[in-house]
Structure 1
Amino acid sequence: MKTYIVLKLIKAKPMTRGDYNTLRGWQLPKDEDGSDEGYLVEYTDSPSANVKGYLGYVSWSPKYVFDEAYRPIETHDGHLKFGKI
């Protein structure tokens, strides 16, 4: 496999694995923990929405994976500020 690096703007909010499965209308597999912390992630640049109520492609990421890969941005006086969660 090749190695890649990505830069994207996303929207995200905290959501457990169980709540994500409920949102999608899926049954939680018996070997998965519904209380796992994570994030609902919406890729706003995607041309196809896959969950009603969202404009972009939606997926779920475990908290430890999300925290290592994503950094929040905030606007202050018109400038972007990158930070660590």
Structure 2
Amino acid sequence: MLMDNISVNKTWQYEHLRAVDALAENSNGFSGAEIEMVIVEARYKAFDADREFVTEDILGSLTSQVPLSTTMAEDIGALRQWALKRARPAA
């Protein structure tokens, strides 16, 4: 019985590792906090559908969100320009 559990756990891990590339490609520009919220949203959607949470739920939530780095690109650029003239690097 223990060996069956180990096999199932390894299979589950490998299936999700294959999805990491797709998740990485689709989460470009997202912060860690934004990715966390995408996962929370995906889990709620799966729960509402009364099924297990899967990679496609995350991908669906990622495509429905726009990261702040995109929506605030102009403001971020202006802040960086301001910092170049008025701030000193921390390191």
Tell me which interval the TM-score lies in, with the shorter structure as reference length.
under 0.3
Q: Which has the higher strand share?
A: 1
The one of the two structures with greater contact order (alpha-carbon pairs below 8 A, sep at least 6) is 2
TM-score (normalised: structure 1): 0.24
Give the TM-score normalised by the residue count of structure 2.
Answer: 0.23
Structure 1 or 2, whichever has the larger Rg, is 2
